Each structure stands twice: as structure tokens, then as C-alpha cells.
Amino acid sequence: MVPRPGLPEPRYYSELLFQPRRLACAACGAVADRDPEMRGAGLVGAVPGGSEDPFFRRPLWLQTRCVGHILWAYNEEHVHELSAYVAARLRERGASRPTTAMFARLPPWMKRSDNRSEILAGLETLRALAERSAPADRSDAAHERGDRPRLRPSLYFRGGPYTGSP
């Protein structure tokens, strides 16, 4: 899934949430395009997070049940970063603002040290799942549930993002 080809480079990183997208599957040849939704005079941006793809709202391939929750990742790099964080005995804060950093936004159950071994085992399951591509290989957790959190949509007005009520 990439921004639709032929678009100008975004000026701001946040613009990526509002760009038209193209989904192309190398395995089956399926292609789909997505234009951002309009709400009044504003574009509604994608809301990353949850067990669905933020643009096409399809279940993520990499998800499994773990510690009574759904453990998910976007790709192998995401699995690797999560594994490094969960395995760390000392977790230091980076230079990023804590509210925008991926690790600061992880749910509490993923940060608890008593869940470490189960979460690492779940991440190994995701790593193995990333190597498979047949529909029969899909995790039993990777089905539509409509549980994606949508706290509030981002809107894009007059050249800048707006995250309040429309």
C-alpha cells in the first residue's frame, strides 16, 4: 500500500494520512484505489492503530491472540521494533515527544514485564506468519471484527490538519 503514483511529495509528514492510496497485491494481482473521505470542506484522514489497515479498513495479516488481546503489526520491521522494545530490561525514553512516539502509545498490557515472555512468543508467531502468504495460513485472529479504535478523525482544512470536532 503506497500513496497513489503521480502525486506531489507531501510538504508535511501528516499529509500522508490524507493522500489517495493504492493497494497492489503482488501475489494475486488485485489493485484498489482509495480517495480520502470528504466531510464538509475537509478531508478525513486515516487513523493509524488497531487491527485494521488504516486506509482500506481490511484486517491486518499480522495479528494473533496474546494475553487476552489482539497483538498486531503492520510488517516485519514493526515486529522487529516491538520485539526489541518488549525484550528490553531497561526502557529509556527517546528524544521524541512521548505522546507521538510509538512505544509511549502502546497499551499497558504490552508494557507489563510479567507479560514479556508471552508477548515475545506472540511476536515470534507474527514473524513466522509474515513469511506465509496463502489464505489458509491466516491467523484465526485476522478476521474483520470492527474493533478498530476511532477516537476522533483527523480533518484537513485550508492547508493544515485539524483534529477537533468538525
pTM attached to this predicted model: 0.69
More confident residue, 3 or 82: 82
Q: How far is CA 63 from CA 32, 47, 68, in A?
A: 22, 18, 13
pLDDT of the residue at 135: 58
- CA-to-CA distance for 141 and 85, rounded, in angstroms? 23
- Whether residue 163 is predicted with pLDDT greater than 90 in this model: the reply is no
- CA-to-CA distance for 126 and 66, rounded, in angstroms? 11
- CA-to-CA distance for 112 and 107, rounded, in angstroms? 9
What number is the average pLDDT over the span 83-91? Answer: 89
Return the minimum-mean-pLDDT range out of 58-62, 85-89, 116-120.
58-62
Cβ(161)–Cβ(45) under 8 Å? yes
pLDDT of the residue at 139: 60
**Structural domain boundaries of the chain?**
2-56+145-162, 62-137
pLDDT of the residue at 55: 85
Cβ(163)–Cβ(150) under 8 Å? no
What number is the average pLDDT over the span 70-94? Answer: 88
Return the minimum-mean-pLDDT range out of 54-58, 101-105, 159-163.
159-163
AA letter at 24? A
- CA-to-CA distance for 79 and 126, rounded, in angstroms? 7
- Whether residue 4 is predicted with pLDDT greater than 80 in this model: the reply is yes
Closest CA to 132 of 27, 2, 51, 1: 27
Q: What 3-state DSSP class applies to 59? A: strand
Burial class, 141, CB count within 10 angstroms (exposed 0-12 / middle 13-18 / buried 19+) = buried
Q: Confidence band (pLDDT; 50, 70, 90) for 83?
A: very high
